[in-house]
Structure 1
Amino acid sequence: MARFAGRTALVTGAAHGIGRAIATRLHAEGASVLLADLDVDAATEVADRLGDGRAAARRCDVTAAADVAAMVAACVDAFGALDVLVANVGVASGEGFDGLDDEAWDRQVGPTLRGTIRCVQASMPRLLTSRHGGAVVMTGSVNGLSAFGNVGYSVAKAALPNLAQNLTVEYSAARVGEGQRPVRFNVVAPGTVRTRVWDTQHPDALVPLYPMGRLGEPDDIAAAVAFLASDDAAWVSGVTLPVEGGILAGPALAFQERNPG
């Protein structure tokens, strides 16, 4: 497929895991991609591997407004446009509610929610004038849809579906300016995905919670993001798409297993 031929995508948190898979998928489908990450060395390795002049890397701290503005400018300088933004940064530190002092809240909400907002705001002038119609996909989480712990992270992720809905209305066809086009805003909400954050833990213990019988892989999330960012989802906006192996139905499954018949 070449759903993104002639389009430019900006992916934050693109050096590892889900972000790397998203950048790789969009590039494989024809996009020019700027990979942004604090770990610019790893992002550069990915961009070099993708090669062919359609991939570049940029260091960006999404909690710093100047970094975000420079990231968007670098994307446009490199590829001439910005058509797709994938806001993929999230930070979880795992404190219980009683342990969430101001610093702990800032550590999670700062990059996860405020960083996402900052990236969207900086990208809007370009997305509104995309000749293809701009698209934003934000990486949420099942943590933002139900109670799975990590309350600081979960609260930040829970804001993203509401943000997508509000922005869908604010940048609708009835409200954009002359020479602008409406922008689509959607959220993908992963369940447990095999990434490096699980390297020192035991994620396979969670498999029984998943009706599909396995954990997610980064490519599972990348496929959903590619759909939401593409013209295949041209009439989809303000939506949160759970990609989570059925875990949101898991409590019902567990109840049925304990109470057969």
Structure 2
Amino acid sequence: MPRLPHPAPEDLRRDPLPLRGRTALVTGASRRGGIGHAVARRLAAYGASVHLHHHVPHDAAMPWGADRIEDVVASVRAALGDPDATVTAGPKDLADPAAPGELVATAREALGGRLDILVANHALNGFDGTLDTIDAAMLDAHWQVDTRSVLLLVQAYARLRAALPPRTPGGRVVLMTSGQDIAGGMPGEIAYALQKGALASVTRSLSTTLAEHAVTVNAVNPGPVDTGYLTGDAYEAVAACFPGGRWGMPDDPARLIAWLATDEAEWVTGQVVDSEGGFRR
């Protein structure tokens, strides 16, 4: 049935819980200072039930350290907009080729047998270098976690969506890139930039593949976000590159990602969206 050229007035009034009844898997949501946690809180606030993926050993090995998962879950649960929604969590090392399929199955089961939204936020930090210093092990490690696992997650998710009635609404996939194709690139993180660039490049192909299942696929470049990895003079130098005089905060890209998950964004797919606050390199 063709749509009317203009929505009815009641359809212009925004639902305060636009994701009520929807379910979401957010990967890399293992600490409260990260983007994954912020995304999960926004989705929960919009009414969704959320399953949080975490891999604590990764964060524990980083300078910023790891949070207690119980604290992360409690923070997301406190943001729930729908009293009938739930928040669950579970671990997976996504370097394991079997882990993405297992994670999607686990999330589906934890969320009541359905998965509407997939936000692939996880990435491997560190273990990288310049063109002169990278080696095969670095390239393989980033490929396994940053790219292969994401594609396998999308594959498992797509199979779930294919089993639903045709054109079931609410299907959303959001990938994460890192501005590796913008002026200057990331010459000090060649392995990471390569794999994140692969995700940006495959976004349109995935969107075309999943369109028949009423699933949109987009990628978000959050730009420099203050997740606790930089301090001192270097922190201030980056802040000065923003016209607003501040870093991006985790909730900045989270607001965009949450909007992409709503029905308001159903006509946006195959896009790589920069959310950088006008960052000047």
Range of TM-score over shorter length: 0.7 to 0.9
| AA partner of residue 226 (structure 1) | A
| AA partner of residue 198 (structure 2) | A
1:183 aligns with 2:215: yes
Q: Aligned partners of 2:201, 2:104: CA distance in 1, in Å?
A: 24
State the Cα deviation string for residues 141-164 of structure 1 (Å, max 9, x = none): 112444133121111111112211
- RMSD of equivalent CA atoms: 2.1
Output aligned runs, 1:1-261, within 5 Å.
1-16=16-31, 17-39=34-56, 42-51=68-77, 54-79=86-111, 80-93=113-126, 94-128=128-162, 129=164, 131-146=168-183, 147-149=185-187, 150-173=189-212, 181-198=213-230, 202-247=234-279, 250=280
1:83 touches 1:126 (CA, 8 Å); kept in 2?
Answer: no
Q: Aligned partners of 1:158, 1:141: CA distance in 2, in Å?
A: 8
| AA partner of residue 112 (structure 1) | D
Per-residue deviation at 1:133?
3.4
Per-residue deviation at 1:76?
1.5
Q: Aligned partners of 1:200, 1:70: CA distance in 2, in Å?
A: 41
1:161 touches 1:238 (CA, 8 Å); kept in 2?
Answer: no
Per-residue deviation at 1:13?
0.1
Give 3-state SS (helix, strand or coil) of 1:148's partner: coil
Identity of aligned residues (%): 33
Q: Which runs of 5+ in 1 are unaligned?
A: 174-180, 252-261
Match of 1:254 in 2: none
Q: Aligned partners of 2:265, 2:155: CA distance in 1, in Å?
A: 22
State the Cα deviation string for residues 107-163 of structure 1 (Å, max 9, x = none): 222211112112111211223438323110011111244413312111111111221
1:105 touches 1:152 (CA, 8 Å); kept in 2?
Answer: yes
Q: Which runs of 5+ in 2 are unaligned?
A: 1-15, 58-66, 78-82
Per-residue deviation at 1:200?
8.3
Give 3-state SS (helix, strand or coil) of 1:217's partner: coil
Per-residue deviation at 1:201?
8.1
With normalisation by structure 1, the TM-score equals: 0.85
Match of 1:256 in 2: none
1:127 touches 1:133 (CA, 8 Å); kept in 2?
Answer: no
Aligned residues: 242
Q: Aligned partners of 1:126, 1:135: CA distance in 2, in Å?
A: 12
Higher percent of residues as helix: 1
Moved over 4 A (4+): none
State the Cα deviation string for residues 186-220 of structure 1 (Å, max 9, x = none): 00101111103336883222122222321100000
Give 3-state SS (helix, strand or coil) of 1:57's partner: strand
Q: Aligned partners of 2:258, 2:197: CA distance in 1, in Å?
A: 22
1:89 touches 1:115 (CA, 8 Å); kept in 2?
Answer: no
Q: Aligned partners of 2:209, 2:119: CA distance in 1, in Å?
A: 19
- Which moves more between the two structures, 214-223 or 46-55? 46-55
Give 3-state SS (helix, strand or coil) of 1:228's partner: helix
With normalisation by structure 2, the TM-score equals: 0.80
State the Cα deviation string for residues 11-57 of structure 1 (Å, max 9, x = none): 00011200010011101111100000112973343223433661001
Q: Aligned partners of 1:166, 1:200: CA distance in 2, in Å?
A: 41
